[in-house]
Amino acid sequence: MDKMRPQKRGGFRKQVNSWWNNLTEGQRTVTGIIAANVFVFCLWRLPGMRRIMFTYFTSNPSSRALCSPMLLSTFSHFSLFHMAANMYVLWSFSSSIVSLLGCEQFIAVYLSAGVISTFVSYVAKMATGRFEPSLGASGAIMTVLAAVCTKMPEAKLAIILLPMFTFTAGSALKAIIAFDTAGLALGWRLFDHAAHLGGALFGMWYVTYGHKLIWKNREPLVKAWHEMRTKNTGKGGGGRSN
């Protein structure tokens, strides 16, 4: 048995490495985001953490904490179904969005989308006087979905429970925007429609104009960072070989 145990552990490690190596760059990138969401979901299960979670991991313009929840609430889910649905959509679109933007730009856009969609939600709540707490990655994920659908409008999509019915990405985006616009105008409370709409509009704007206006001006800085890391790695490798 002692001889077999290391083999089993080694076999499990090989399986994990094989699974990881078979993932796309986009799937590897969002794995960390999904892990963070799972960790925050587990924190909601701890009774002693409830006050902190409501203060910093839900967004509400009437709360004493306004800025940090704009980002932290993007990683926060109280319902398992809510988290599973959001993470499934993020995983499904991960390869496409990272192939469009690259790893660093995707992370920057995703975090920015969480803040921007929450800000739009704040504005809508202040305008309507409905100060209800919100949480979830839906606003940031709507940015991802809208960006992909804007750049690939003819791509075929399907609903997981109804795979026989397909539709184009462009049609899906129009339907989502129409639904959230109606929900915001009519005061529906099923979702945070303002955050969804803000995220979708930000995604459409970014892939159309924002990439040229923002990210291309940052490319020299990113290249310099990569060159510095490469030089430091080379120096470190040379020191070890000597």
Annotation marks residue 193 as catalytic: no
The kind and range of the H/E element at 93 are: helix 80-101
What is the maximum span of the chain, computed from C-alpha positions, in angstroms? 71
Per the rule left: phi > 0, alpha: psi between -120 and 50, beta: everything else, 102 is left
Three-state SS for 199?
helix
From the list 196, 211, 226, 241, the catalytic residue is 196
C-alpha to C-alpha distance for 14 and 47, rounded to whole angstroms: 38
Annotation marks residue 96 as catalytic: no
From the list 18, 138, 193, 226, the catalytic residue is 138
Closest CA to 97 of 170, 25, 19, 173: 25
Active site residues: 138, 196
